[in-house]
Structure 1
Amino acid sequence: MMTESLKSPPRTAGVKRAEKGVVTLLTESKVYRDYERAFVAGTGLPLLLHAPEMLTVIRYVRKQENPFCTLMADTAQWCTASYNLQRKVESEAQLAPRTLKGFAGLCETSVPVRIGENLIAFLQTGQVLLHQPDRSQFEAIARILAAWGSQVDLKVAEEAWFNSRVIAPRQYEALIHLIDIFAHNLASCGNLLILNQQKPERPEISKACFFIDQHSSDEISLAAVAIVAGMSANYFSGKFVEATGVNFVEYVSRVRVGKARDFLQNPDLRISEIAFDVGFQSLSQFNRAFKRVEGCSPREFRAADTTI
């Protein structure tokens, strides 16, 4: 059993830096690239993974972008309205997906990607109509453009707007659910990336991390691992946090939760059985640690994995 407190540890500067770096790594990862390619090809909608609190208007890849939005991108008022909409939808999507309607009836959706209790990114999609466009609606849009003093060619704008992707609300809701499932998978990948990013430079700590990985299913204490590292327990505790960005208990929990994720994909294994097999001392301890790291319970994780 572990001798340090099992309370959720505060986020250290090392963890915060790691989370920022993880967004970049996730964006470049094969799992995200493959999903983005399949989602865009299958739905005709754009998809973008980005860090929270973007300071400029979010622009999708040109070939994914709604032609009407591309046309409007040089209009200052449109950019301001788009930025305000994106900030609003993100502020309302801290815990769950949120869709809001913006200028010209085009909707934007943000889906949060959370590692445990921490929001690290959003999956963004949108520039879509949830209703069939008609001429009266565009006439209202044209009046707004005229009031803005926009130089956009109205005939070109009309054609672009009428060619916007249209999806029935229930179908769009189902697509957002798929993105939400993927967001949970990305969060799991992000947790592993954080652990990998936190690989220490000191050989003594590296040796300790290897020992933890190999013995995480056993009863393991800070004092025992400190001996492996050739340090006193107090000295090792401080150096471990410096090197990995998290304390000893949190590191061991993340390693165990990572192994539990693999076992949860086997529906024949009971969750209680998995909890003890990966090294937790009780089911309640496992549930708390899993939710802290993954943002959902083991049962919810298994249900989401089955849904894919």
Structure 2
Amino acid sequence: MTKADHIKIPAEIDTIYSELLTTDLFSIYRTAFEQVTGQTLALIHPDIISTPKEESLRCKNDFCSMMLNTDTCKNRCTEHTLDLSKRIDQQAFTASCDANITTTLIPIQTKTGTVAYLRSGQVRTDEKEIDPDFFLKISKAMPPHVGRDVIMLFDAARVYTKDEYKSQLTLLGAFALQLSDLANNLITKIHPKSGNIVDLTKRFIHEKLSEKISLDTLAENAKVTNSYLCKQFKKSTGLTVVEYINRHRVELAKELLSSRNVRIIEIAYETGFQSLSQFNRSFHRYTGQSPTEYKAQTRAELTS
């Protein structure tokens, strides 16, 4: 896989995918579907290569599970899924790999585009017979006992009829519509906030200015991903989140240095800096003076 295989996915769509993957709806349906059909059901990221490893390798087919650990199929399943995604339109797309294992990719469509794919199958069907040369090729790259095990697992795999597989896809199509509705609802919740994310974050920062503030905490408060928050914040303010926090901490420190006769280290911690050295660096960066110099200057101005 190369960087060219990656698709640039908006941060909010990445968030929607993560939300769908952890919903009770998906978890309950997947468990029921797999138990009833014996198939595998995975939720694939719209950027195929960004799918979590445990999700992309999800497979109940013993033959495929063994083949994925071989050089022959190490990346082939991901490549096959990627190829399906490129050929898909608005509807499901079904194809078979070199081993004639059938896989179907069903897009989860929303008003902002595809936010995920349901991947089912990875099963044998009665529509095609495997090319005898396939096992001849892979057996040359394996120890004899491994090659025998692979053939035995393939022969033992359940073969679905065309009608059985079609019925399963009908169920998945209906489920895909449910997930699409859920995804649209999640998008509706995110987008009204997108214009207010920066204001919400600013308020939180000012409320917690004297405390330790992490990007994770800010993103969680705004209900968005870290990267999306950073992008929106920089676009709106021209500053990174860290720059904004430090600038306002320095402004608060200036007020305190001018109005209170306390040690500089106390001001540093009271304004949320984690160390005196960090405070000194940030203060000098934004004022051109050290806290000591600024304090002396303001005291001199007051007494003159």
Normalising to structure 2: TM-score of the pair? Answer: 0.55
Aligned match of 2:184 in 183, 191, 198? 191
Matched with 2:72 is: 77
Give secondary structure in 2 for the equivalent of 1:125.
strand
Matched with 1:111 is: 106
Per mean C-alpha deviation after superposition, the further-off stretch among 171-180 and 36-45 is: 171-180
Give secondary structure in 2 for the equivalent of 1:121.
strand
Per the TM alignment, residue 56 of structure 1 is displaced from its structure 2 partner at its CA by 7.3
Cα separation, 1, equivalents of 2:59 and 2:36: 12
1:66–1:164 CA contact under 8 A, matched in 2:
yes
Per the TM alignment, residue 101 of structure 1 is displaced from its structure 2 partner at its CA by 0.8
1:97–1:110 CA contact under 8 A, matched in 2:
yes
RMSD over equivalenced CA pairs, Å: 3.0
Aligned match of 2:29 in 23, 35, 53? 35
Cα separation, 1, equivalents of 2:189 and 2:54: 30
Matched with 1:20 is: 14
1:180 counterpart = 2:173: yes
Specify the structure having the higher radius of gyration (Cα): 2
Per the TM alignment, residue 61 of structure 1 is displaced from its structure 2 partner at its CA by 8.0
Cα separation, 2, equivalents of 1:56 and 1:73: 18
2:127–2:162 CA contact under 8 A, matched in 1:
no
Matched with 1:93 is: 88
Amino acid aligned to 1:131? D
Deviations 1:103-142, CA, capped at 9 Å, x for gaps = 22111110000102611110001210112898xx585332
Per the TM alignment, residue 82 of structure 1 is displaced from its structure 2 partner at its CA by 2.5
Amino acid aligned to 1:78? C
Matched with 2:151 is: 158
Deviations 1:211-236, CA, capped at 9 Å, x for gaps = xxxxxxxxxxxxxxxxxxxxxxxxxx
Per the TM alignment, residue 39 of structure 1 is displaced from its structure 2 partner at its CA by 0.6
Per mean C-alpha deviation after superposition, the further-off stretch among 50-59 and 83-92 is: 50-59
1:45 counterpart = 2:14: no
Percent sequence identity is 18
Cα separation, 1, equivalents of 2:96 and 2:54: 17
- 1:1-308 to 2 correspondences below 5 Å: 16-55=10-49, 64-116=59-111, 118-131=113-126, 137=130, 139-147=132-140, 149-151=141-143, 153-198=146-191, 199=193, 200-201=196-197, 202=199
Per the TM alignment, residue 62 of structure 1 is displaced from its structure 2 partner at its CA by 7.3
Per the TM alignment, residue 70 of structure 1 is displaced from its structure 2 partner at its CA by 1.2
1:40–1:64 CA contact under 8 A, matched in 2:
no
Cα separation, 2, equivalents of 1:153 and 1:133: 24
Deviations 1:29-52, CA, capped at 9 Å, x for gaps = 011111111110110001011212
**Any stretches of 5+ residues in structure 1 without a counterpart?**
1-14, 204-241, 244-308
Larger RCO, structure (CA 8 Å, separation 6 or more): 1
Per the TM alignment, residue 170 of structure 1 is displaced from its structure 2 partner at its CA by 1.8
Per the TM alignment, residue 88 of structure 1 is displaced from its structure 2 partner at its CA by 1.5
Give secondary structure in 1 for the equivalent of 2:189.
helix
1:111–1:180 CA contact under 8 A, matched in 2:
yes
Shift in CA distance, 67/40, structure 1 to aligned 2, threshold 3 Å: same
Cα separation, 2, equivalents of 1:182 and 1:33: 12
Amino acid aligned to 1:94? D
Per the TM alignment, residue 74 of structure 1 is displaced from its structure 2 partner at its CA by 2.1
Count of residues in correspondence between the two structures? 189
Cα separation, 2, equivalents of 1:161 and 1:196: 46
Normalising to structure 1: TM-score of the pair? Answer: 0.54
